[in-house]
Amino acid sequence: MDYKKTNAAQSIITRDLNELDTDTGNIYEAIAIIAKRANQMGVGLKEELTAKLAEFASTTDNLEEIFENREQIEISKFYERLPKPTSMAIQEFLEERTYYRQPETEEEEVSEEDK
């Protein structure tokens, strides 16, 4: 996932709820989809950050190494400046780049075709 190319808002903005439920027809379903996607993004970000910071881990730390590790600090600052996963998930959903399916609706369509 390329987080640098996201055009999600860095700060909090007010959202129009009517925009969110246009695809699903149900605001609660739209929010559930966005929440699940935000959780996926959050886990992905955490794993990526942990993997990058693991390169700097050492068994014996002395004070000079801790304060002089500028590269580690820059990586941490990059991830701190990223928009929050919730903002990125909302933006993805509004741009219709989020894949989701509705198994209940699919089952109804299949049963109607059998008739």
Residue range 18-72, pLDDT digits in tens: 888 888 888 999 999 999 999 999 999 999 999 988 887 766 656 666 566 778 8
Question: Phi/psi of residue 58, each to 5°?
Answer: -140, 155
For residues 49 and 75, the answer to whether their CB atoms sit within 8 Å is: yes
pTM for the full predicted model = 0.75
Residue 99 backbone zone (phi > 0: left; psi -120 to 50: alpha; other: beta): beta
d(CA 90, CA 96): 10
Domain span holding position 92: 17-98
Decide if 71 is inside a domain: yes
Q: How many domains does the chain have?
A: 1
Mean pLDDT of 71-92: 89
Which candidate, 92, 11, 12, 9, places its Cα nearest to that of 44? 92
Decide if 9 is inside a domain: no
Decide if 79 is inside a domain: yes
Decide if 72 is inside a domain: yes
Share of the chain above pLDDT 70, in %: 77
Decide if 54 is inside a domain: yes
Decide if 56 is inside a domain: yes
